[in-house]
Amino acid sequence: MTVRIRRAAPADAAAITAMIHGLAEFERAPEQCTVVETQVRTALFDQPATLRAHVAEVDGDVAAMALWFLNFSTWDGVDGIFLEDLFVQPRFRRLGLARGLLSALAKECVDNGYTRLSWAVLNWNTDAIALYESIGGRPQSEWTTYRVSGAELAELAGP
């Protein structure tokens, strides 16, 4: 078995889109996932890109992905990485791909002087939580994530 972790390329857009839908199923919300391949390709590869990605290949097949973007720490005065989605296709789980992708993102941080790698995890995803804790990740319990979307977002935006 040959494993390779690399930055995503335009040819990966279909596989990444399929994995996004796979993640939505895993997270028990497939009906909420409406993204299509052209949107993913645009976000990843148009200039300026709004999304970045690493993929893990197993014997040449795209088996896992990490979708991320830069955020800015006003306290540190430098960028950091926010990991939006990490997904390993079911048949490739338990091969160390998620850990490998996280390691690649940590290397991005170190190589570019970024001071943090952040992400969110569903409270019920105990396998992911165990992985994150095993690599030194710690929950930020003093912060509560908020979101406004849909009708509330439109109302907030006003006329």
Q: Is the pLDDT of residue 136 over 90?
A: yes
In the numeric block, the tokens 């994530």 are attached to 145
pLDDT digits (tens, 9 = 90+) for 75-125: 999 999 999 999 999 999 999 999 999 999 999 999 999 999 999 999 999
HEC string for 94-115: CCCHHHHHHHHHHHHHHHHCCC
CB neighbours of residue 145 within 10 Å? 6
Count Cβ atoms within 10 A of the Cβ of residue 130 and give its class: 0-12 exposed, 13-18 middle, 19 or more buried: exposed
pLDDT score of 143: 87
Q: Which domains, and CATH codes, for the chain?
A: 3-157 (3.40.630.30)
In this prediction, residues 30-57 reach a mean pLDDT of 97
The pLDDT mean for the chain works out to 96
Under DSSP, is residue 73 helix (H, G, I), strand (E, B) or coil?
Answer: strand
pLDDT class of 145 with cuts at 50, 70, 90 = confident
Q: Does residue 129 have a pLDDT over 90?
A: yes
Q: Which of 53, 31, 33, 32 is nearest to 42 (CA)?
A: 53
Instruction: Evaluate the CA torsion angle 115, 49, 146, 121 in order and state its sign.
Output: negative
Strands 3-7 and 52-58: antiparallel
For the ranges 16-20, 26-30, 111-115, 146-150, the lowest mean pLDDT is seen at 146-150
pLDDT value, residue 144: 86
Residue 124 neighbours by CB under 8 Å, 6+ apart: none
